[in-house]
Amino acid sequence: MPFLAPLLLFGAIFASAPIIIHLLNRRRFKLVEWAPMEYLKLTLRTNRRRLQLEQWILLAIRTLVILLLIFAVARPFLSGNAAAAWLSLGGRTSRVILIDDSLSMGLTNSGESAFGQATEQAATLIESIGSQDALTVVTTSSITAPIQRDSTMNTDEAAALAEQVRDLETTESANNWAATLSELADLLEGTAHSSKEIRIFTDQRASGWSADAADQAAKLEKLGVRVVIVNVGQDAPGNATLAELSQSTGVALVNTPIEFVAKIDADGDPQFKVDYATLLVDGEDTPIKLPDVAAGQKGVPLKLTHTFDTPGTHTIELKLPDDAMPGDNTRSLTVEVAESVRILLVDGEPGIAARDSEVYFLAQQLFSGSTPIKTTVLPDSEWFNQPGVGNYDLVVLANVEKIPPNRVEQLKALVEAGMGLVVFPGDQVDPTSYNSTMYAGGTGLLPASIEFGEAVEAEGLIIEQLDNTPMPVLAQVYRDKPRLFARPAPEKVLKVGLPDLSERSDIRVLARWNGPGLPPAAIEKFVGQGRVILWTVTADKSWSDWPNEASFIVGTREVALNIAGVSGATGNLTAGQPIRQRVSASNPPSRADVVKPGDEKTHPAEIDRADAKRPQIVYRDTHRAGLYELTWDMPGRDDDRTQWFALSPDGRESDLRRLSQEEFEQLLPGIDAEFIDATDPSTGGAQREIWRTLAMLLLGFVVIESAFAAWVGREH
């Protein structure tokens, strides 16, 4: 039997103390013949054997008490199959085996992954659990769908389940331990046996744990659940993470170079075996030279460019070379490539002549470049009479008095799905209405509350030099020709109420009017997958002569094109997020199937008709990263519809910080969890410390010794 503190076993020599004391206290008597003693000898001979037996039993108990004390402080443990056999003792227990299959469990060290250790240890335990125990086996990614639920097994069934566990694979999704503990409490609440145990095989990473776990731990404590945490994780030998892959060109057009940017993080030495990544565009691979990535470096950029020659949905995957944790080395995107940019200009003040229109100058600038743009101009009254916003990549609202609440809801849904929105003020704008519906206390579409326009004296524009700016051309032109932006001098600008930007990562100022105490010129807000830009000057010349300047062409055009419909955003998700695809309410599908990454089989998807006006296809088994192909029928037509979805690894799992035992105890107050380390190679596998068992035996023998000593010392 191994010990965690074997040197303390030298204390076992003190177990001889009771024997030595016994020998020292033995008295030697001088024999004196006395006639009356003959009668006493007869009595002593009768009791001698019983007294000697009692003394030897008492001596053995005292010696055993000292040995148990020494063994307990030396922390003995059972390992491998011995630990599993130990656990099979006792009985009629409802046991839950929970296997962490999140992304970080794929981390390998010395050729073996944490997940491989977890499944092997769990399988060994399953094979040894008694036939009277009720067993539940579940993974963190499928906590609501156990592999085995609260049932007993014979030897053959246990062997089959153990093999099934050994065949499990990790996912690329993240854990939510508070939700997991809640589901575990529900699983155990109705189990057959009063004795309950949860054994969690995990790498003890901090990701996924939160203060909310304490509330769920209280439920387990109330149920009297014994919790055992088996650590299968080790420190990372060095890991590279593909932290980001995004489309930096706002709208993807046919025969136009589209830019993408990837970012690489290194946790320690990235340990790349080769110096190139692999880029797959619609399945065709191309090697990409990797940038230099130093140990501990974060956000190392890798810029990519590709030109598509056909419209429609295209897929992109970028793969770093394999390392200690390959699960976070690949990201994917779907890209919607269009033949032109579809822009809607909503005119709040049409005017009699075309040149008097609120959007006249804006429309002229949009057509000034080579980018193919399809522009639709509608007076606000005509647009409001339409049933919906329309199918556009970008909507521009120019001096529109007020937006009806139902149209605001439609706009918000489209922006969240990736459409761009630009808002220009004007004298007709009703600030009260906008603040109520469009700003909505900071939760709406606008990045700031608005007031009436005010007279100012400005001396041009200052363009903020921001990372990931939505208007890279504008920032570049400003760096090259700052004098170009010194000319705009508005006589009036919109006064705005900005929230505290230090607390709002979704809002930022893109440009400012040059002058003391002046409001920003352009403010951006990220809303879901889309973006909203609020300008504080009108699109026409009523507040300024800026539309006559060359910087107006660069400013308005580049902002519009760079936020126009970050196309395909609805098809780009994180592993674990359900796939949702809206379908026709008038002609909904009768079937829908999904082909998962690396799997040629089709899997049925759910057709959700709960909302008759907005039916949708839902597929929830998305814990693996990669490209998912969704296909559904269209009743009355011979062809099926297909949509690609790209699910990338959950980046939270790339944080490999591990929780200490003390941190676990703070997260799980009230639960006296037992911790077992399965990573020590000297133990040959899982360790189960048994000092608690020895301590209970020690306490029991102390009570027995006290009672038996009183019995032995009675008057005879």
80-100 confidence digits (pLDDT tens): 444 444 444 445 788 999 999
Q: Which residues of the chain have pLDDT under 50?
A: 4-5, 80-90, 470, 567-568, 683-686
The answer to whether residue 570 sits within a structural domain is: no
Domain boundary (266, 296, 328) is at: 328
Amino acid 436: pLDDT: 96
End-to-end Cα separation, the chain, in angstroms: 43
DSSP helix, strand, coil percent of the chain (3-state; round to 5): 35, 30, 40
Residues 583 and 547 occupy one common structural domain: no
Q: What is the pLDDT of residues 667-700, one digit of tens each?
A: 988 888 888 888 765 544 445 556 566 667 767 7
pLDDT of residue 679: 78
What local confidence, expressed as pLDDT, does residue 474 receive? 63
In a domain, 669, yes or no: yes
**Residue 253, domain member (yes or no):** yes
Do residue 220 and residue 274 come from a single domain? Answer: no
* 526 and 543 belong to one structural domain: yes
Q: Quick one: 166 and 139 in the same domain?
A: yes
Cα angle for residues 279, 246, 239 (degrees, 5° grid): 65
The closest of 397, 410, 412, 409 to 445, measured between CA atoms, is: 412
568 in any annotated domain = no
Per the CB < 8 A criterion, the answer to whether 435 and 452 are in contact is no
pLDDT for the residue 715: 55
Q: CA 637 to CA 589: how far, in whole Å?
A: 11
> In this structure, what DSSP letter does residue 90 have?
S
> What does the alpha-carbon distance between residue 52 and residue 54 come to, in Å, rounded to a whole number?
5
**Does residue 308 sit in the same domain as residue 369?**
no
pLDDT, residue 554, reads 75
- Distances, alpha carbon 235 to alpha carbons 140, 205, 206, 705, in Å: 21, 10, 13, 47
For 503, the domain range is 341-563
Q: What does each C-alpha distance from 189 to 184, 195, 475, 696 come to in angstroms?
A: 9, 11, 60, 28
pLDDT of residue 497: 94
Residues 553 and 416 in one domain: yes
CATH at residue 465? 3.40.50.880
Contacts within 8 Å (CB) and 24+ apart, 638-645: 641/589, 643/313, 643/571, 643/581, 644/313, 644/315, 644/334, 644/571, 645/334, 645/571, 645/572, 645/573, 645/579
Q: What is the pLDDT of residues 346-386, one digit of tens each?
A: 999 987 777 788 998 888 877 666 778 889 999 999 999 99
CATH of the domain at 603: 2.60.40.10
What is the reported pTM?
A: 0.73
Question: Residue 600: its pLDDT value, please?
Answer: 86
Q: Do 198 and 127 belong together in one domain? A: yes
CA distances from 472 to 466, 468, 529 (A): 9, 8, 19
Say whether both 459 and 552 belong to one domain: yes
- φ, ψ for residue 523 (rounded to 5)? -125, 135
The answer to the question of residue 27 being in a domain is yes
The CATH number of whichever domain residue 107 belongs to comes to 3.40.50.410
Residues in the chain: 716
Do residues 424 and 298 both lie within one domain? no
| Domains held by the chain: number | 5
Output the pLDDT for position 500: 92
DSSP output for 2-46: -BSSGGGGGGGGGGGHHHHHHHHTPPPPPP---TTHHHHHHHHHH
pLDDT (0 to 100) of residue 89? 43
Residue ending a domain, choose from 294, 328, 362 = 328
Regarding whether 196 and 116 lie in a shared domain, the answer is yes
The predicted pLDDT at position 476 comes to: 65
Which of 563, 592, 612 corresponds to the end of one domain?
A: 563
Indicate whether 333 belongs to any domain: no
Q: Which value, to the nearest 10 degrees, does the dihedral of the CA atoms of residues 474, 476, 478, 484 take?
A: -80
Residue 111 lies in a domain: yes
Sign of the CA dihedral running 460, 463, 464, 465: negative
Are 322 and 414 part of one and the same domain? no
Whole-number Å distance between alpha carbons of 7 and 73:
10
Residues 511 and 422 in one domain: yes
